[in-house]
């Protein structure tokens, strides 16, 4: 008896021959942005007046002039038709966490002939039936109308497939009542809030506050690739994106030989295809490399404006998945596809600029430094005051296997600033100069601070929230998550903190107090109060959790613990005050996230039960009967012992499967516990049953054969 599926899969993969190195082919950089309706293309297709008006909306956040909608639509249509698009769609980001699109052809008829049509109204609003998207009770099916509204700050683009193309118009998705049903709307609102607060804060330092505020994001995206032959033989991967069973292979990541290793030819071909597609979409894919776990990789773009970067990250995930398919691979974006090796995250590199100045850049002159330290202090205050919200924003069934599961980063949110900044912060707290400065009292904004070499700041890779030279890197978001969620929180809590500090400075100014003394005292007070959130040590170290508890830092190891933050009165009030979420929208986020969590856990439990009963148990039973029969031969003691061992595990399998079946009628904690027990038995069987009889592709195959 043997499992032919697996051996056939192995044989099929062994036949795959990546192409040999080719002669140099044309470089694709000149295709950058070719499928995006922006920049040069706008000027080519629009009259100067219309193009100027549109650019003012995009660049300066001016309200969209409704009079230009028809002109823009007509231009977009001719451009899209010229680029081969037959359809258009409002492209949006519902609360499922995926993207959504419903295509309409440009086609109309005048009775006899086909004509093309696409009006300003088609561009500006859409009315998809909203009833089948999760809304957390905001929109019941009897009021199914939902609206998509054009977001001119994220340019339209063309998505291509084998024999056609579609014009995609990024939109926000709202209910009839105006409540947000998507991830983009609150993000745009939070950007407005942070922009206003930033302007207010810089005014305290004598700047005009009239320049544009931009928030930037560079999301590093991790993922796994498995050969499709194996994928199709794993119902768990197919249905949940992760393996619910699988014994650890002898070699996985112990030798640390995958990270930054030579990229295999097949994978490099895939990556190249991905990049060409992304460049055409105007997505500045920059970095590619092998990650820590076997079969794990990373792609990182050059940072862009936050709203655009979020849309682009959604497209990166889509292009990764589709290009993988074309290459006979499957791209796994789940946070933990394989137990025992690293999971996948999405490092969220974030910063705020006022005009051309990155406020997270230490800068060289006193005023810049003073603003930098004020911004830094404000962020420390924001993260310490609202760590629970940041944690909630990255909660999810997949991420539970990373955060709070002895993996990087931990579920406790803390900030890493590096030794030099820590030194400066402690000088502020003490109010005196430390060894790295000349003697004398430190007066921020008057004296020059020690220079901060940029690249010396980040040697720590375990902190959930790290200052990395000119940006903060939030490392907790999961690889599959939409970047919008954590950035909505980050923008809002930082806006609140900027406002707090600006308010204090304004009060002092009104009372004619000395600015520098006020600032010095304020930063000292705020840092003193919030410095417990600073932690420069190893986030994985066993002592850290106890230490964090002593400091009173919240630790929400699971999704349902974390989501409680959405229900807290003061948190709801915060988002309402900043116009980011209404209380109903907050409640809906909680409901949707909690429903999704429970549904995912249940699906995992059901697939585990099905695999255990219909694939593993039959193989084990057959083996048990065969070895039992063989054991009756004279002198076959070892065979008897083996049969007894298989029999014992078989009994346990039966019991644990029944327990899981029962648990599936109850709550998630019970399901998770029953799945864990079942996994132990199944993985135990995998280790002793004949290799050829094992019905599922093994870890060593999925992680190494591609
Ligand atoms: P790593 O964290 O792996 O060392 P890098 O330092 O190269 O990687 O940067 C990671 C990401 O951070 C990239 O996407 C990069 O574009 C982005 N990044 C760099 N500067 C900023 C910034 N000021 N704001 C937002 N993202 C940034
Ligand atoms: Mg990084």
How far apart are the CA of 349 and the centre of ligand 2, in A? 7
pLDDT reported for residue 439: 38
Q: Phi-psi bin for 246: left (phi > 0), alpha (psi -120 to 50), beta?
A: left
The β-bridge relationship of strands 114-116 and 107-109 is: antiparallel
Task: Give the start-end residues of each E strand in 336-418.
Answer: 346-354, 357-358, 415-416
pLDDT reported for residue 10: 93
What atom of ligand 1 comes closest to residue 218's alpha carbon? 14
Question: pLDDT over 90 for what percent of the chain?
Answer: 77
Q: Are 498 and 198 in contact (CB under 8 A)?
A: yes
Ligand 1-lining residues (CB < 6 angstroms): 216-218, 220, 300-303, 349-351, 358, 468, 470-471, 473
Q: Ligand 1, residues 290, 300, 375, 465: which to mutate, most atoms within 8 A of Cβ?
A: 300
H helices of 61-179, in order, are: 69-82, 120-124
- Share of the chain residues as helix, strand and coil, in percent rounded to the nearest 5: 50, 15, 35
Q: Is the peptide bond before 689 cis (omega within 30 degrees of 0)?
A: no
What atom of ligand 1 comes closest to residue 302's alpha carbon? 16
Name the closest ligand to CA 287.
1
Tokens of 43: 């000027």
Name the closest ligand to CA 289.
1
Distance CA 479, CA 223 (A): 7
Q: Are 285 and 278 in contact (CB under 8 A)?
A: yes
Residue 166: exposure state from Cβ atoms within 10 A (0-12, 13-18, ≥19): buried
How far apart are the CA of 347 and the centre of ligand 2, in A? 6
Name the closest ligand to CA 353.
1
pLDDT in tens, 58-80: 887 777 888 899 999 999 999 99
Tokens of 178: 């105006």
Tokens of 649: 């595990």
Measure the CA angle with vertex 428, ends 425 and 430; round to 5°.
110
Could you tell me the pLDDT band of residue 18, with boundaries at 50, 70 and 90?
A: confident
Domains and CATH numbers, the chain: 32-182 (3.10.20.70), 191-597 (3.30.590.10)
What atom of ligand 1 comes closest to residue 361's alpha carbon? 23
How far apart are the CA of 261 and the centre of ligand 2, in A? 17
Distance CA 678, CA 382 (A): 43
pLDDT reported for residue 1: 43
For the chain, how long is the longest CA-to-CA vector? 102
What atom of ligand 1 comes closest to residue 360's alpha carbon? 23
Residue 435 pLDDT greater than 60, yes or no: no
Name 266's Cβ contacts closer than 8 Å, sequence gap at least 6: 16, 18, 327, 329, 706
The DSSP call for residue 66 is G
Q: Which residue has the tokens 């219909």?
A: 614
Of the candidates 685, 11, 698, the one whose C-alpha atom is nearest the C-alpha of residue 294 is 698
How far apart are the CA of 572 and the centre of ligand 2, in A? 31
Tokens of 546: 């106890």
Tell me the torsion sign for CA atoms 672, 678, 684, 689: negative
pLDDT reported for residue 432: 55
Q: Which residues surround ligand 2, an ion (CB under 5 A)?
A: 347
Tokens of 364: 């060289």
Tokens of 395: 């909660």
Could you tell me the pLDDT band of residue 128, with boundaries at 50, 70 and 90?
A: confident
Tell me the torsion sign for CA atoms 298, 301, 305, 309: negative
- Helices 569-577 and 583-611, interaxial angle, to 10°? 120
Q: Ligand 1, residues 471, 472, 475: which to mutate, most atoms within 8 A of Cβ?
A: 471
Q: Ligand 1, residues 220, 305, 349, 472: which to mutate, most atoms within 8 A of Cβ?
A: 349
**Residue identifier of the C-alpha nearest atom 6 of ligand 1:** 468
Residue 511: exposure state from Cβ atoms within 10 A (0-12, 13-18, ≥19): exposed
Tokens of 644: 């007894």
What atom of ligand 1 comes closest to residue 303's alpha carbon? 16
Name the closest ligand to CA 359.
1
Distance CA 66, CA 63 (A): 9
- Give the CA count within 13 Å in the CB-facing half-sphere of 228: 11
Segment among 21-30, 146-155, 510-519 with least mean pLDDT: 21-30
Q: Are 228 and 328 in contact (CB under 8 A)?
A: yes
Distance CA 369, CA 360 (A): 10
Tokens of 700: 């060593």
The β-bridge relationship of strands 357-358 and 285-290 is: unpaired
Could you tell me the pLDDT band of residue 457, with boundaries at 50, 70 and 90?
A: low
Q: What is the mean pLDDT of residues 130-146?
A: 74
Q: Ligand 1, residues 194, 214, 218, 283: which to mutate, most atoms within 8 A of Cβ?
A: 218
How far apart are the CA of 173 and the centre of ligand 2, in A? 31
Residue 128 backbone dihedrals phi, psi, to 5 degrees: -70, 150
Residue 154 backbone dihedrals phi, psi, to 5 degrees: -120, 110
pLDDT in tens, 520-558: 899 999 999 999 999 988 877 778 889 999 999 999 999
**Residue identifier of the C-alpha nearest atom 13 of ligand 1:** 218
SS3 127: coil
Most confidently modeled range among 364-368, 417-421, 648-652 = 648-652
CA distances to 30, 97, 212, 321, 677 from 92, rounded to whole Å, are 28, 10, 26, 18, 40
Tokens of 619: 């193989």
Q: What is the mean pLDDT of residues 175-199?
A: 94
Could you tell me the pLDDT band of residue 485, with boundaries at 50, 70 and 90?
A: very high
Q: Are 691 and 314 in contact (CB under 8 A)?
A: no
Name the closest ligand to CA 350.
1
How far apart are the CA of 37 and the centre of ligand 2, in A? 30
How far apart are the CA of 220 and the centre of ligand 2, in A? 7
How far apart are the CA of 94 and the centre of ligand 1, in A? 27
Q: Are 347 and 219 in contact (CB under 8 A)?
A: yes
**Residue identifier of the C-alpha nearest atom 11 of ligand 1:** 218
Distance CA 319, CA 281 (A): 10
Q: Are 621 and 691 in contact (CB under 8 A)?
A: no
How far apart are the CA of 333 and the centre of ligand 2, in A? 17
Could you tell me the pLDDT band of residue 115, with boundaries at 50, 70 and 90?
A: very high
Distance CA 647, CA 622 (A): 11
How far apart are the CA of 242 and the centre of ligand 2, in A? 24
Could you tell me the pLDDT band of residue 442, with boundaries at 50, 70 and 90?
A: very low
Of the candidates 462, 428, 452, 457, the one whose C-alpha atom is nearest the C-alpha of residue 442 is 428
CA distances to 100, 340, 650 from 696, rounded to whole Å, are 33, 18, 17
Return the H-helix or E-strand segment holding 224: strand 213-227
Residue 414 pLDDT greater than 60, yes or no: yes
Q: Ligand 1, residues 213, 283, 303, 461: which to mutate, most atoms within 8 A of Cβ?
A: 303
Could you tell me the pLDDT band of residue 443, with boundaries at 50, 70 and 90?
A: low
How far apart are the CA of 111 and the centre of ligand 2, in A? 58
Of the candidates 90, 99, 157, 158, the one whose C-alpha atom is nearest the C-alpha of residue 124 is 90
Distance CA 277, CA 529 (A): 49
pLDDT in tens, 673-694: 999 999 999 999 999 999 999 9
pTM of the model as a whole: 0.95
Distance CA 301, CA 32 (A): 13
Q: Are 657 and 678 in contact (CB under 8 A)?
A: yes
Name the closest ligand to CA 459.
1
pLDDT in tens, 195-225: 999 999 999 999 999 999 999 999 999 999 9
Could you tell me the pLDDT band of residue 452, with boundaries at 50, 70 and 90?
A: low
How far apart are the CA of 345 and the centre of ligand 1, in A? 15
Q: Are 445 and 366 in contact (CB under 8 A)?
A: yes
Tokens of 326: 């074309």
């Amino acid at each position: 008896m043997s499992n032919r599926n697996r051996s056939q899969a192995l044989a099929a993969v062994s036949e795959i021959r990546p192409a040999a190195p080719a002669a140099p082919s044309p470089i694709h950089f000149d295709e950058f942005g070719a499928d995006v309706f922006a920049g040069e293309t706008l000027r080519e297709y629009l009259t100067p007046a219309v193009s100027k008006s549109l650019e003012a909306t995009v660049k300066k956040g001016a309200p969209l002039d409704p009079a230009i909608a028809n002109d823009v639509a007509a231009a977009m249509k001719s451009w899209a038709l010229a680029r081969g698009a037959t359809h258009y769609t409002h492209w949006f980001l519902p609360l499922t966490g995926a993207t959504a699109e419903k295509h309409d052809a440009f086609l109309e008829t005048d009775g006899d002939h086909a004509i093309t049509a696409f009006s300003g109204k088609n561009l500006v609003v859409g009315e998809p039936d909203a009833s089948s998207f999760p809304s957390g009770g905001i929109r019941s099916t009897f009021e199914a109308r939902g609206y998509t509204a054009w977001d001119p700050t994220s340019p339209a683009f063309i998505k291509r497939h084998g024999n056609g193309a579609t014009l995609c118009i990024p939109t926000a998705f709202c209910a009839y009542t105006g409540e947000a049903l998507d991830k983009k709307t609150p993000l745009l609102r939070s950007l407005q809030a942070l922009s206003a607060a930033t302007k207010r804060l810089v005014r305290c330092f004598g700047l005009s506050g009239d320049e544009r505020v931009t928030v930037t994001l560079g999301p590093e995206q991790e993922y796994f690739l498995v050969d499709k032959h194996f994928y199709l033989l794993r119902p768990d991967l197919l249905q949940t994106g992760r393996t619910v069973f699988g014994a650890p292979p002898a070699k996985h990541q112990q030798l640390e030989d995958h990270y930054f290793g030579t990229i295999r030819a097949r994978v490099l071909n895939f990556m190249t295809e991905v990049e060409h597609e992304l460049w055409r979409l105007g997505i500045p894919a920059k970095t590619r490399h092998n990650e820590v776990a076997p079969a794990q990789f990373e792609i990182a773009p050059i940072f862009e404006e936050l709203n655009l970067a979020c849309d682009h990250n959604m497209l990166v995930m889509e292009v990764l998945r589709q290009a993988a398919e074309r290459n006979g691979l499957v791209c796994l974006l789940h946070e933990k596809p394989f137990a025992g090796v690293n999971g996948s995250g999405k490092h969220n590199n974030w910063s705020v600029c006022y005009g051309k100045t990155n406020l997270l850049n230490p800068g060289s002159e006193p005023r810049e430094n003073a603003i930098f330290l004020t911004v830094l202090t404000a962020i420390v205050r924001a993260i310490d005051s609202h760590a629970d919200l940041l944690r909630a924003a990255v909660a999810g069934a997949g991420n539970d296997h990373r955060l709070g599961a002895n993996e990087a980063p931990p579920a406790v949110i803390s900030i890493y600033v590096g030794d030099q900044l820590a030194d400066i912060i402690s000088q502020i707290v003490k109010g005196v100069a430390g060894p790295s400065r000349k003697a004398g009292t430190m007066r921020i904004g008057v004296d020059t601070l020690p220079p901060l070499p940029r690249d010396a700041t980040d040697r720590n890779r375990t902190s959930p929230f790290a200052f990395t030279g000119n940006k903060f890197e939030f490392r907790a978001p999961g690889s599959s998550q939409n970047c919008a969620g954590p950035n909505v929180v980050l923008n809002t809590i930082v806006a609140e903190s900027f406002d707090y500090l600006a308010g204090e400075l304004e009060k002092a100014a009104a009372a004619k107090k000395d600015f520098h003394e006020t600032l010095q005292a304020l930063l000292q007070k705020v840092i003193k109060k919030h410095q417990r959130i600073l932690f420069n040590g190893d986030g994985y170290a066993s002592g850290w959790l106890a230490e964090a508890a002593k400091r009173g830092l919240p630790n929400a190891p699971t999704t349902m613990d974390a989501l409680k933050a959405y229900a807290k009165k003061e948190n709801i009030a915060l988002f309402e005050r900043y116009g980011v979420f209404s209380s109903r929208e907050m409640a809906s986020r909680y409901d949707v996230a909690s429903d999704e969590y429970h549904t995912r856990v249940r699906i995992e439990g059901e697939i585990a039960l099905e695999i255990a009963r219909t694939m593993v148990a039959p193989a084990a039973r057959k083996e048990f009967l065969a070895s039992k029969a063989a054991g009756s031969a004279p002198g076959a003691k070892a065979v008897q012992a083996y049969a007894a061992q298989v029999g014992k595990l078989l009994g346990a399998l039966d019991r644990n499967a029944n327990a899981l079946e029962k648990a599936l009628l109850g709550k998630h904690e019970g399901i998770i516990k029953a799945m864990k027990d079942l996994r132990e038995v199944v993985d135990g069987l995998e280790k002793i049953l004949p290799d050829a009889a094992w019905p599922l592709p093994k870890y060593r195959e999925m992680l190494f054969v591609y």
